[in-house]
Structure 1
């Protein structure tokens, strides 16, 4: 890898627990100036550090959490205030999205994985400035170095757009 510049990937968010340890829980991505897309297994009382990659950040309180369904590892969390940081674009979700043409071992080759998951080796979850998946499983220390599981964004795109548009 290579070091990020202060302006690289400013949509990255660190979700941190509000207990006394302030442990890192998960990462997420800003999908507009007030909503973060992340995995539902991260759900707990938390706050968000915005603009964490690679430098100084701004902490914000989470005011709303929307989980798609208990059976799906995807959620949106709402920040108390708008943030000036840039956010990542949502894909148009065409049937043959560009990321899915890459070397991804999909459901047919992965046991116990449903159609909403993809299993990846060394592949990023965003391509051409658009987010296509949320990290769901695998050891966080090995992200993008060893296989891990991602939840596809496209099956949830209507829910994501509706939630971030209709919730003031």
Structure 2
């Protein structure tokens, strides 16, 4: 109960991970993703020449990337880039331009933390992520796999580290659902997962939470300063399928 109160306090305060502050932005306590999985993972990078910001995303259609709304910098002076084929590292990484018209989910004038980015040209040789089969909804105790790029440790007192280089391989992490989807006013429809001494971090935001090979969640937020303090939050993709499919044309 105390843990849930801390989490709700962070949500109520509107804790944002979209800032110029350089924090540790990676999976903690994960392992190398297999070379045959997560081929759809996208790295999103934003920079203004002084500060940089990194997120994850998933290619769900040759023209469309699914990610978190906070993962695209709209302020003047910032440039945004999407890198595909970042995993495995034996692939030839390349980037494609993003169209200016971002598609963010809004309901009753409230923007939720989920977004679609449209590529200027389709990706022809990247496997696509699979959207969920929402005839099955996640339950407490279900295992979801999350992924991100970065270090696997924190500093003293689980303080998030800064200036850590990308790892040699994408990192994967299994967590168990500890709270099923519910609507939070400042974020949208969110579920939570947790694992002892493991965590997602700020720059993992936008990446996929996968169950049975399908994207059931989009990573949204974690504790902003210390790892392994609160469960990881993910947007519930099943709540947004009626928005995603008409826009992308996915059947």
CA displacement 1:44-100 (0-9 Å, x = unmatched): 251200011231411111113100114310000011111120011111211x42x33
1:59 to 85, 88, 95: 95
TM-score, L = length of structure 1: 0.80
Q: Is the 8 A contact 1:16 1:22 kept in 2?
A: no
Where do 5+ consecutive residues of structure 2 fail to align? 1-29, 74-78, 143-175, 200-207
Aligned residues: 164
| Distance across 1 between alignment mates of 2:211 and 2:187 | 22
User: CA 1:144/1:31 → structure 2, altered by over 3 Å: closer, same or farther?
Assistant: farther
Where do 5+ consecutive residues of structure 1 fail to align? none
Higher Cα radius of gyration: 2
TM-score, L = length of structure 2: 0.56
Q: Is the 8 A contact 1:121 1:145 kept in 2?
A: no
Q: Note the 1:26-65 alignment, pairs <5 A.
A: 26-44=55-73, 45-55=79-89, 56-63=92-99, 64-65=101-102
Runs of 4+ in 1 over 4 A off after TM superposition: 111-115, 139-146
Give the CA RMSD over aligned residues: 3.3
Q: Note the 1:6-155 alignment, pairs <5 A.
A: 6-20=35-49, 23-44=52-73, 45-55=79-89, 56-63=92-99, 64-69=101-106, 70-83=110-123, 84-94=125-135, 96-97=136-137, 99-101=138-140, 102=142, 103-106=176-179, 116-122=189-195, 125-138=209-222, 147-155=231-239
Q: Is the 8 A contact 1:14 1:24 kept in 2?
A: no
**Whose relative contact order is higher, 1 or 2, with alpha carbons under 8 Å and at least 6 apart?**
2
User: CA 1:18/1:79 → structure 2, altered by over 3 Å: closer, same or farther?
Assistant: farther
**Per-residue deviation, 1:25:** 2.4
